[in-house]
Amino acid sequence: MSNLNSKLQQVVERTHRKLYEQDRIMPVKTSEGILVGNVLIASVGHVKNLYQDNILIYKEISLNVVAIKIANILTKSGTTARAEALYRADQEYGRWLQESQFLRHKYQIARKNGNNDRADIYLARYCTARDKAKNAHSHVLALAAF
């Protein structure tokens, strides 16, 4: 049985080493959030905050993939231009997503109240914001892929 445990431990260590070489660190779930190396990803509602050594580094990250990618970068290299670019792109996506949801809600209220002119304006603005959110989402995912 101890032979099986030692072989399993070797596989786990080898996997962690390979992931680390690929700039990926295995996340660990804790009571405070998800720990990636020395970076804690803490959820606050639908957004995430990143703490490194109990110091807030990035706040209100919208996408999980971005939070994990930035946590990996911070653990391995500290704050870099790539992490900053990912964060800025995520923030732009979050703004457009929030704007589109707000305008969709305003459109629904205007339509419900029978104010068709206002509803048409909100619909046009919503469609623009939605498209910009989709483009920003694609951009963020492309940045996170590298």
- Judge whether 94 and 60 are in contact, CB under 8 Å: yes
* pLDDT single digits (tens) 15-32: 666 666 655 677 888 899
d(CA 134, CA 75): 29
Q: What is this structure's pTM?
A: 0.79
Least confident of 4-8, 32-36, 96-100, 113-117: 4-8
pLDDT at 24: 65
Would you kindly state where each structural domain of the chain is located, as residue ranges? Answer: 1-78, 80-146
Average pLDDT, the chain: 89
Residue 83 pLDDT grade (very low, low, confident, very high; cuts 50, 70, 90) = very high
Using the predicted structure, report yes or no on whether residue 66 has a pLDDT greater than 80: yes
Using the predicted structure, report yes or no on whether residue 77 has a pLDDT greater than 90: no
